[in-house]
Amino acid sequence: MGSIDSKKRNGKYRARYRDPDGRQLTAHFERKADAENWLTSKEASILDGTYVDPAGGRIIFKDYASAWADRQTHAPTTREQVASHLKNHILPTFGHRSLNSIQRSQVQAWVRGLQEKLAPATVEIVYGRLAGIFKSAIDDSLLVRTPCRSIKMPRANKKLVVPMSTDQVMAVVDAVHPHYRALVVVAATAGLRQGEIFGLQVSSLDLLRRYLHVDKQVVLVTGRPPELAPLKTSSSVRSIPIPELLAEELARHLAKFGPGEHELVFTDEQGRTLRRNRFSEAVWDPVQKALGIPKGSGLHELRHYYASLLIRHGESVKTVQHRLGHKSAMETLDTYGHLWPDSEERTREAVEQEWMRANFQQSEDSVRTGRGLTG
């Protein structure tokens, strides 16, 4: 597959081979043994599929990252987020460097710098973008290994979810503008995400059998009006059983206000698709402030309330996961695990009841045995 030329006038041996694309590459060595070893390693890497283009690692990071971003099949909102992460957090540090010049220690230092200005969860997301770019470079045979290895991430001080009380939720329902009353009830009694509520269409309602089918959401992309889009994951697509009170609330809402554009159940007062920020500023935040309810995660607080109801009434982790559209049971437990009843007392009761039953049975057996001997 390759060859080594006899010693040249410069006193060096030239080794040559052709890469998988048919290009001829050469290198010069003082000793013939070194040339043979180099050539053997190149030929072996071609045969076992681990070959790396020697020039590939010299590609400038920003050029490769830009091409990588263009190849991704992200949803519009995710594509916009990726572009923002590259521009604001990744390219300022690594953009001018060649791929093969970036070291693990430099990535670790960059992560440490990020944690000074970003929340731990955001640092993980941004780091994930960088790691994805280097993984792609390895898959493209441009690098042998990634500098994104054994990187220590900032530890998040997780804040436990403290759900609103039923009294607080009812107060919000009573205080909110009548146009949005049913929307609040949906959030509290079906647990939809805000974008899912905004994207709920009349065709998604089965009020007779009392189900909501969730398969769309409203997304916002800079410079464009709100638009309906599919949900990000298949696990988010779900049918949720709803109580009769919600079915009646939705029927009253549609009878009074009718559907808006795109046959949406909930719109603004002009019948237009709702925007997250405008809803928070004009509807949710004023009510929350007026009622003295601690500021939390906006309308998402009612999703937490819904989850807490399911848990309080004995629903399993898998059921709560499905109702909320979580990817995994672990996601559900990470968020709401502390709300499940403590099992310590049930453990004590289980052991005590079993031993009490056994002791009672043993006592009865002793009595019967005693009677038999005396009889």
Q: Is residue 337 part of a domain?
A: no
Q: From 299, 330, 355, give the residue that closes a domain.
A: 299
Q: Which domain holds residue 217?
A: 166-299
Residue percentage of the chain with pLDDT more than 90: 62
pLDDT value of residue 8: 65
Please tell me the distance from the alpha carbon of residue 120 to that of residue 85, in angstroms, as a whole number: 15
- Which of 16, 31, 51 is where one domain is finished? 51
Is the same domain home to 269 and 170?
yes
Mean pLDDT of the chain: 89
264, pLDDT greater than 60? yes
Q: Are residues 31 and 122 in the same domain?
A: no
Residues 43 and 82 in one domain: no
Residue 364 lies in a domain: no
Do 32 and 75 fall within a single domain?
Answer: no
CA distance 91 to 130: 10
Q: Check whether residue 208 and residue 117 sit in a common domain.
A: no
**Residue 15 lies inside a defined structural domain of this protein:** yes
174-214 pLDDT, tens digit each: 999 999 999 999 999 999 999 999 999 999 999 999 999 99
pLDDT tens-digit profile of 136-179?
999 888 888 899 999 999 987 778 899 999 999 999 999 999 99
Report DSSP letters for 184-204, one per residue.
HHHHHHH---HHHHHT-BGGG
Position 291 in a domain = yes
Q: CA 18 to CA 172: how far, in whole Å?
A: 72
Instruction: State whether 294 and 236 are in the same domain.
Output: yes
Is 60 exceeded by the pLDDT of residue 372? no
Boundary residue ending a domain (250, 283, 299) = 299
Instruction: Tell me, yes or no, whether 16 and 133 share the same domain.
Output: no
Q: What is the dihedral of CA 139, 108, 69, 116, to 10 degrees?
A: 160
- Count of the separate structural domains present in the chain: 3
Above 90 in pLDDT, residue 18? no
What is the model's pLDDT at position 317?
94
State the CATH number of the domain containing residue 249. Answer: 1.10.443.10
Give the pTM. Answer: 0.72
Instruction: Say yes or no: 276 and 256 in one domain.
Output: yes
Higher-confidence residue: 124 or 141?
124
Q: In the predicted model, is pLDDT for residue 56 greater than 80?
A: no
Instruction: State the CATH number of the domain containing residue 80.
Output: 1.10.150.130
